[in-house]
């Protein structure tokens, strides 16, 4: 589960002699682009499934047919059926909306909160209001980090009770510290950069410098981070559902499906493996895409 996606550092030595070996991942550029294209297609499919599940899986995910329970993967049901005879494929597709929306909303919440906290803390060097903000936010972040990931989400749920909305809130809060820490270091780095100094020498006012230079450059990686973080948010959201703390049954959410299938794993492995695979594919695709975006941003 990626919590802290690493930002590739910009290659600072330009004009290096041709003999110098590049530090980027080896492999022809073509191969990397293929992976990203596949990832983008997968995510596209996921989004389609979330918005219009009927396109990919006509059929009712809630229709119970006890006679068909536990059929292995077959032409009629490509991924088999679960304990109530519902098609796994249909349920996975229809569950995309629930799983993805929790993950996406939680990521939005996490990045929003993380950016606010990170920017506030990033102005910590200098006069005292900034320093106080930095000290306060940094301590808060330390505390939040001391309750890592799922633990923090669980603690939040303990207070709010289970459900889809509390799960969204919990995952959002749990991902915020990671973003905040990176945004904070970005803001500090940009504020100390030669670019900002040059702007000051030109006579720009601090507000202008902030708006024109600091924020756009410091927050540029946030989109990439959010893409990387989306996969992780989906993983956590489905973990919460798996533990019975997210979307209540019979909603076809991936984690919940896996939880239900757990008891039958010995007889019907497809009830467990396929819903989890959906989570893995989504998370992996968003990670690959995010890293590809990061590399593109690095190269430009």
Partner 1 sequence: MTRPSPTEATGEAAPRRRGAAEHVLRWTLARVVGGLVVLWAVATLVFFAVRLVPGDPAEAILGGPGSQASAEALALVRQEYGLDQPLLVQYLAQLGRLATGDLGTSYSLRTDVAGLLLDQLPGTIALALASLVVAWAIALGTAWWATLGGRVAAGVSSALEVVAAAVPHFWLASVLVLVFSTQLGLLPPVSTGTPVGLVLPVVTLAIPVAGFLGQVTRDSLLDAASAPFTVSARARGESPSGLFRRHLLRHAALPGLALSGWAFGSLLSGAVVVESVFARPGLGRTLLGAVTLRDIPLVTGVALASALAYVVVVALGDLAERAVDPRERAS
Partner 2 sequence: MSVAPLLEVEGLRVAFSGRRVVDDVSFTVAAGECVAVVGESGSGKSVTARALLGLSGGQVDARRLRLGGTDLAALDERGWRGVRGPQVGLVLQDALVSLDPLRPIGREIDDALRLHTRLGPAARRERALDVLAEVGMPDPETRLGQRSGELSGGLRQRALIAAALVLRPELVVADEPTTALDAEVQRVVVDRLAALRDAGTGVLAISHDLGVVRRLADRVVVMRAGVVVESGPTEQVLGAPRHDYTRMLLAALPRGVARGARLSPRGVGPGPVVPAPPAAVPSRSAHAQAPAPAPVPAPAPAPAPAPAAAPDVVLAASGLRRVFTARGRAAHVAVDDVSLELRAGETLGLVGASGSGKTTTARLLLGLDDPDAGSATLLGQPWAPLRERDRRGRRAQLGAVYQDPASSFDPRWSVGRVLADAVTAGRRTRPTGVAAEVASLLDRVGLEPGTADRHPASLSGGQRQRVAVARALAPRPRVLVCDEPVSALDVSVQAQVLDLLDDLQREEGLAYLFISHDLDVVAHMSDHVAVMQQGRVVEQGRTAEVFAAPQHPYTRALLAARP
Contacts with partner 2 by CB under 8 A lie at 10, 12, 14-15, 17-19, 21, 193-195, 197-205, 212-213, 216-217, 220
CB 173 within 8 A of CB 109: yes
**Least distance between partner 2 and beta carbon 190 (Å):** 10
Contacts of 201 (CB under 8 A, 6+ apart): none
With CB under 8 A as the contact rule, the residue among 90, 96, 238, 247 that binds partner 1 is 238
Nearer to partner 2, 68 or 298 (CB): 298
Q: 3-class SS at 87?
A: strand
23 binds partner 1 (CB under 8 A): yes
CA 61/CA 246 separation, integer angstroms = 18
Would you give the DSSP letter of residue 67?
G
Q: Rounded to the nearest 5°, which phi and psi values hold at 81?
A: -125, 160
**C-alpha distances out from residue 100 to 8, 48, 295, Å:** 27, 11, 25
- From residue 126 to residue 155, the character string flagging contacts with partner 1 as x (rule: CB under 8 A) and all else as - is -------------xx-xx-xxxxxxx--xx
Residue nearer to partner 1 on the CB measure, 7 or 215 = 7
Q: Are 149 and 236 in contact (CB under 8 A)?
A: yes
- Choose among partner 1, partner 2, none what residue 216 binds, the Cβ cut-off being 5 to 8 Å by kind: partner 2
The stretch near partner 1 (CB under 8 A) out of 100-108, 115-123, 193-201, 278-286 is 278-286
CB of 269 to partner 1, least distance (A): 5
What pairs with residue 81 in β-bridges?
A: 87
* 3 state DSSP class of 77: coil
Residue 107, classified by CB atoms within 10 Å of its CB into exposed (0-12), middle (13-18) or buried (19+), is buried
Furthest C-alpha separation in the chain: 78
From start to end of the chain, where are the E strands?
none
| Binder of residue 7, out of partner 2, partner 1, none (CB less than 5 to 8 A by kind) | none
Stretch that binds partner 1, among 41-49, 74-82, 205-213, 267-275 (CB under 8 A): 267-275
Q: Which of 42, 133, 284, 293 binds partner 1 (CB under 8 A)?
A: 284
Q: Does 265 bind partner 1 (CB under 8 A)?
A: yes
Q: What is the smallest separation between the CB atom of 198 and partner 2, expressed in angstroms?
A: 4
How many other CB atoms are found less than 10 A from the CB of residue 18?
A: 4
Which residues in this chain contact partner 1 in the complex, by CB under 8 A? 1-4, 6, 8, 20-21, 23-27, 31, 35, 139-140, 142-143, 145-151, 154-155, 157-162, 231, 235, 238-239, 242-245, 255, 258-259, 262, 265-266, 269, 272-273, 275-277, 279-280, 283-284, 287-288, 291
């Amino acid at each position: 589960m990626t919590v802290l996606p690493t930002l590739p550092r910009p290659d600072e030595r330009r004009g290096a002699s041709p003999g110098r070996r590049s530090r980027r991942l080896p492999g022809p550029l073509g191969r990397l682009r293929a992976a990203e294209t596949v990832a983008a297609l997968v995510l596209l499919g996921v989004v389609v499934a979330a918005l219009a599940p009927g396109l990919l899986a006509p059929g009712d995910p809630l229709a119970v047919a006890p006679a068909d329970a536990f059929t292995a993967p077959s032409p009629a049901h490509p991924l088999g059926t679960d304990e109530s005879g519902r098609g796994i494929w249909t349920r996975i597709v229809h569950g995309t909306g629930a799983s993805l929306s929790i993950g996406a909303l939680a990521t939005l919440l996490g990045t929003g909160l993380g950016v606010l906290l990170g920017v506030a803390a990033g102005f910590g060097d200098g006069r005292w209001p900034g320093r106080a903000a930095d000290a306060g936010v940094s301590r808060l972040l330390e505390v939040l980090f001391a309750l890592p990931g799922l633990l923090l989400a669980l603690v939040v749920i303990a207070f709010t009770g289970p459900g889809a909305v509390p799960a969204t809130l919990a995952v959002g809060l749990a991902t915020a510290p990671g973003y905040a820490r990176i945004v904070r270091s970005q803001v500090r780095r940009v504020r100390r950069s030669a670019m900002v100094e040059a702007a000051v020498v030109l006579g720009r006012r601090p507000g202008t410098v902030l708006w024109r230079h600091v924020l756009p450059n410091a927050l540029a990686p946030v989109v990439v981070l959010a893409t990387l973080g989306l996969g992780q948010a989906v993983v956590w959201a489905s973990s919460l559902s798996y533990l019975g703390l997210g979307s209540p049954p019979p909603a076809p959410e991936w984690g919940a499906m896996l939880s239900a299938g757990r008891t039958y794993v010995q007889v019907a492995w497809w009830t467990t493996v396929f819903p989890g695979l959906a989570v893995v594919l989504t998370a992996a695709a968003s990670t690959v895409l995010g890293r590809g975006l990061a590399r593109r941003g690095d190269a430009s």
